[in-house]
Amino acid sequence: MKRVRVTVPASSANLGPGFDVLGLALTLENVFELEEVEGFSVDVAGEGALTLPRGKENVVVRGAAAVYAALGRQLTGLRVRQTNAIPPGRGLGSSATAWLGGMLGANALCKGALPLEAILEMAVREEGHPDNLAAALYGGLTIACLDDGHVRVLKLPLASNLRFPVLIPDLEAKTVTARAVLPSHLSREDGVFNLARACILVGALTLGRPDLLRSAMADRWHQPYRLALFPWLAAVFQAAQEAGALGWALSGAGPSVLAITGEDAEKVGAAMLGALERSGITGRARVLGAAELGSRVEILS
């Protein structure tokens, strides 16, 4: 085979209390076509078309090269065509999609020589965020745990009646900056606060207990500190609550905001967007679902 297509979903990490551990795959996708040719070229359409690198430093190419190297092969050329629906730098797992797109595509070109677990571990070594990567690879609601260089992942079934309005501000944030504002230590009280909520949140999402989501998505680990970077966030959370959201959280390291709703999804999305715009920042609201399938690979020729 010479040409493959990889479709990778967006993901929202943390879900409030599950810092660096919980992930949810969302129905917004980046699509990567990889073809073995002589020389390197990258075409980008859609989100990031004007900013993403087109040479060998492109993350899709780097991901592909890492797989070839792991298999003892040299990548001498690759044509990449990526069509992005996920805006980069918004806390929606765009970089995870690019690493997985490159790695899964290259692995298919190499006849699927590496198991998915090895791809995930390689992606975690390169990209660093198992919460986004596990959700984007396997889909659905995931718990990711680093264990002595290995990544343990549990994918759990989600209650089916939930919808996910996502607020995407027109500004980019760097994860490294959003991590630099966090304290290096957590008090025992705050640790227990988050641990209890992360556990209840997983139960509430899988057992269908929407009544528990609001208190289960509270967090003392990262969001209170990130308010300094996103001063409009408290107003957006309040707008989500007043419009009837069941729960809400900063998506990953931000700046996007994920809400969880039943029927009120459009209303909650519009309310969050209104609050953002009243703070002087433009953006858009999208109502997404959970992407159950995760990443998909198709052989084109």
- Binding to ligand HSE (CB under 6 A) within 124-163 occurs at 129, 131-132
When the beta carbons of 108 and 173 are compared against ligand HSE, the nearer one is 173
Among 124, 253, 257, 276, binds ligand HSE (CB under 6 A): 253
Among 179, 181, 207, 277, binds ligand HSE (CB under 6 A): 179
- Binding to ligand HSE (CB under 6 A) within 212-251 occurs at 222
Among 17, 101, 105, 252, binds ligand HSE (CB under 6 A): 252
- 201-232 core/surface letters (b: 16 or more CB in 10 A; e: else): bbebbeeeebebbbebbbbbbbbeebeebbeb
Interface with ligand HSE, residue 175, by CB under 6 A: yes
- Binding to ligand HSE (CB under 6 A) within 72-131 occurs at 129, 131
Among 4, 8, 10, 13, binds ligand HSE (CB under 6 A): 13
- Among 168, 167, 169, 165, residue whose Cα is nearest residue 244: 165
For the chain, the residue count is: 301
State the residue number with the nearest CB to ligand HSE: 129
Interface with ligand HSE, residue 67, by CB under 6 A: no
Interface with ligand HSE, residue 20, by CB under 6 A: yes
When the beta carbons of 128 and 210 are compared against ligand HSE, the nearer one is 128
Q: How far is the CB of 131 from ligand HSE (least distance, A)?
A: 5
Q: How far is the CB of 79 from ligand HSE (least distance, A)?
A: 30
Which span (14-22, 142-150, 165-173, 198-206) binds ligand HSE, by CB under 6 A? 14-22
When the beta carbons of 14 and 256 are compared against ligand HSE, the nearer one is 14
When the beta carbons of 9 and 252 are compared against ligand HSE, the nearer one is 252
Q: How far is the CB of 87 from ligand HSE (least distance, A)?
A: 15
**Using CB under 6 A as the criterion, which residues of the chain lie in contact with ligand HSE when the complex forms?**
13-14, 19-20, 129, 131-132, 175, 178-179, 222, 252-253
